[in-house]
Copies of this chain bind each other. A is one copy, B any other.
Amino acid sequence: MGELRGGVIQRQRQTRRRLDEPVVRVGAVTGREMDLPRDPRDNTATAGLVRWVEANDLDHGFEVSIEKGIPLGSGMGGSAASAVGGVIAANAVASTPLPDDDLFRYALLGEAVASGSIHPDNVAPCFYGGLVLTRAVDPPDVVSVPTPDAIRCVLVHPRRTVETREARQCVPPEIPLDEVVRQTANMGAFVAGCYRNDLDLIGRSLRDCIVEPRRAGLVPGFAEVQSAAMNAGALGCSLAGAGPSLFAWARADDAEAVRDAMTSAFNHHDSATDAYISRADGPGARLVEREATRAG
């Protein structure tokens, strides 16, 4: 279901400082990933800002400090989070703040540094929050889809890495027609289920018959973890992004049991996992605080 993404809230923080000249710099990098590119054109948190500064004849620049909360290669959309956090924070100190549509475009350009091309599937939910469907990229056409109040998203991350590029190679350039028909129908039914607040319909349609079977082999224990989730009452369970994390949707009352079952199943294959439960309608990236000492 490439384009429908929602997710667990992950904490990740970017700090922007206005500089007196129109340049972009990568400042301090802390948190879960310290080894990020120092060249602002290669860093997802800054690459969009470079384009912003270049295109808008700004009278100032940005220095970006990154506290990275999401591990790379986890399937949790960490590069999109950095790219979106970047533009939201920068906009708070920019001399001429940009409207959302422009910010979104610069976030897409930032994320493209990591994924190799424009991929709104993670950028859109980071930016807008909740469950969003990206109908088109250029121009971006992003549709927010409501989620039932009773839904919780469970995410379990085994501490190993899947290369997004390797994961992409598992999906062939052509897909059998019968799978296309089935998956298109699942997509329509899933969206209908969200609007109807129909958890049973969501459960029947939260299935990925195209990508999941081809990528599951990259994640040791996938089948066991998925089965464990479903047996514990999940409505659906599949790969988060390219993996190796798995997500499940579950009723609030079942979420902890689903999380524990998934964690336990993963533990047969990986020594360590991180697990999260969140609502499906969490907010997008937002300004948390404004330092009194900021320049400008």
Contacts and interface: CB of A to CB of B under 8 A. Distances in A.
Interface in A60-110: none
A116 interface: no
A210 interface: yes
A177 B175 contact: yes
Interface stretch (A132-140, A147-155, A232-240): A132-140
Interface stretch (A18-26, A189-197, A249-257, A266-274): A189-197
Contacts of A3: 181, 184-185, 188
A167 interface: no
A118 interface: no
A53 interface: no
A183 interface: yes
A43 interface: no
Contacts of A174: 174-177
A213 interface: no
A174 to B, nearest CB: 4
Given A175-B175, A184-B184, A201-B143, A192 B133 contact: yes
A162 interface: no
Contacts of A159: none
A172 interface: yes
Contacts of A183: 180, 184
B187 A145 contact: no
A185 B201 CA distance: 19
Contacts of A188: 3-4, 133, 135, 143, 145, 187-188, 190-191
Contact of A133 (B172, B173, B176, B185): B185
A218 interface: no
Interface string A103-142: 0000000000000000000000000000001111000010
B143 A192 contact: yes
A135 B173 contact: no
A2 B177 CA distance: 11
16 contacts: A2-B184, A3-B181, A3-B188, A133-B188, A135-B189, A141-B189, A143-B188, A143-B192, A174-B176, A174-B177, A175-B175, A175-B177, A175-B180, A180-B210, A188-B188, A188-B191
Given A135-B189, A143-B201, A192-B195, 14 more contacts: A3-B185, A4-B188, A135-B185, A135-B205, A173-B176, A174-B175, A174-B177, A175-B176, A175-B180, A180-B180, A187-B187, A188-B190, A191-B191, A191-B195
Interface of A: 1-4, 133-136, 141, 143, 145, 171-177, 180-192, 195, 201, 204-205, 210
